[in-house]
Amino acid sequence: MAAETWPEGPTQEQDETAQLACRDRLARIADLRHYGSIDTAMDLRALRKALGYDEWNVMAFSAGGEPAFQLLRIDPAGTRAAVIDAPITGVTKASVDRVFWTEIPRQLLSGMLAGCEAQPSCNKAFPNLKSRFWHEVEQLEAHPHLVHFKVEGGGSIPFRVYGHFFQQDVAFLMADPFGKQFAPAILDELLRHGIDPLYDFTIGPPFPIADVVAEGRTIAYRCREYISHKDRDAIQTIVDRYPRWAWVTRDGFRSEHRRCTLWDVGRDSRVGAFTDVDVPTLMFQGQWDPAVPNAPIEAEATHLHDGTFVQVPDIGHGALVSWLGWQDCPRSIATFFLNHPNATQDTSCVDDMPHTVFETSLPGLPDGRAADLRGALRAVRGRLARGPYARLALEGRSPLTAPPAAAAG
């Protein structure tokens, strides 16, 4: 539907028609209530038995996290050890923030602002960055700024930037694994000289995601095991806790609730609890994860009876799959763990890993010239648009990460 209605996007009626068509098409060939973590765990248990293994090691990443937790619950005797990296977890306790459309940008933004304030060189170069930023957000909320997105092939689309959009877009500067250290410098430039460069890009046709994400099955799973466990009281708890993210929290809930009402897959009451098992488990969490909220991972880790929790600095989504050059430490920890799951685990190499140090100027160009703000932002957009976080940013309604044509700016 996005491709057919590009560049304006579908109306609510068009979107609902497409959602119902997708649901009905899948419902003719499968029971949508069985696209979920528990059925996946049962399939894995059946596979282990069919292969003739008395026990095996389990490794899970990202969306594989909740099926892995469910497998630990239903098949502890068949699981020798588990390594779980940056997991999505089904914990739905009131004390745990799991409103991902709010918590992910909030943790990125607050980490950047607090980190700059705590780093003397950053705080000196960009004094009062946090207060200046929130002042700009308040001004934009009261008086939204009109920008025009250029459209590939000609023309443009008007867009009013409210404060809640701006704060999400700034947050996702921290999703760039190769450029997050420049986020405070970029933000300072925007606050001093105007926000237009953040929205100076060309929108290309939407790229297909069907080759990467089984979207219909994902919606059914997310609605049944996650959204159905959220109600207005739970959302209000998040609003009260983070009032500056009230609009983002409520809008995300309305959107997800409307879609899940259309899909009508019910609520799975078997999920939502902590994993209280004795299986040796190693769990990784990246400091700057732009895909999974950190709070539920930390909460889940405290309930593992025989667990080791490792927070990896300067890493985004996935410590074991990182390609940034310092993945040897978490991989060595995982290798030793799988060979000796019942031994005392040595995670001290994490202490020697680099931490994010924010730069006090914009990045230089390959030929040594200083980059201007628009050039720095083009580089960020180019990396995000082609990277693993593009889908996330688009779902978060952030116009920062346009489709690949944005790289041409």
**Tokens describing residue 168:** 């999400």
Helices (H), 264-402: 294-301, 328-339, 373-386, 390-395
The answer to whether residues 80 and 220 belong to one domain is yes
**Predicted model pTM:** 0.86
CATH of the domain at 343: 3.40.50.1820
Nearest to 98 by CA among 225, 268, 212: 225
Question: What pLDDT is recorded for position 364?
Answer: 63
CA 222 – CA 92 distance, rounded (Å): 13
The answer to whether residues 215 and 334 belong to one domain is yes
The answer to whether residues 89 and 225 belong to one domain is yes
The answer to whether residues 238 and 345 belong to one domain is yes
Q: Which residues pair with 56 in a beta bridge?
A: 79
Coil, helix or strand at residue 403 = coil
Does residue 4 form part of some domain?
A: no
Does residue 10 form part of some domain?
A: no
The answer to whether residues 264 and 335 belong to one domain is yes
Question: What pLDDT is recorded for position 325?
Answer: 66
Coil, helix or strand at residue 281 = strand
Tens-level pLDDT at each residue, the chain (409 residues): 666 777 777 888 988 998 999 999 999 999 999 989 999 999 999 999 999 999 999 999 998 999 999 999 999 999 999 999 999 887 655 555 567 888 899 999 999 999 999 999 999 999 999 999 999 999 999 999 999 988 888 888 898 999 999 999 999 899 888 889 999 999 999 999 999 999 888 887 776 655 556 778 889 998 999 888 888 888 888 899 899 999 999 999 999 999 999 999 999 988 878 888 899 999 999 999 998 888 888 888 888 888 999 999 988 888 998 776 678 899 999 999 999 999 999 999 999 988 899 999 887 655 444 567 887 887 787 766 544 333 333 333 344 333 333 322 2
Domain, as residue range, for 57: 32-96+211-349
Which residues lie closer than 8 Å to 137 by C-beta, 6 or more apart?
Answer: 163, 164, 166, 167, 244
The answer to whether residues 228 and 313 belong to one domain is yes
Domain termination site, one of 299, 331, 349: 349
Question: What pLDDT is recorded for position 7?
Answer: 73
Question: How far is CA 386 from each of CA 207, 327, 393, rounded to the nearest angstrom?
Answer: 10, 21, 12
Other beta carbons less than 10 A from residue 249's beta carbon: 23
Other beta carbons less than 10 A from residue 298's beta carbon: 14
The answer to whether residues 89 and 102 belong to one domain is no
The answer to whether residues 274 and 136 belong to one domain is no
Does residue 204 form part of some domain?
A: yes
Does residue 68 form part of some domain?
A: yes
291 and 317 in contact (C-beta within 8 Å)? yes
Q: Number of folded domains in the chain? A: 2
The answer to whether residues 122 and 194 belong to one domain is yes
The answer to whether residues 345 and 203 belong to one domain is no
The answer to whether residues 220 and 343 belong to one domain is yes
Which residues lie closer than 8 Å to 207 by C-beta, 6 or more apart?
Answer: 390, 403, 404
What residue type is assigned to position 183 of the chain? A
Does residue 401 form part of some domain?
A: yes
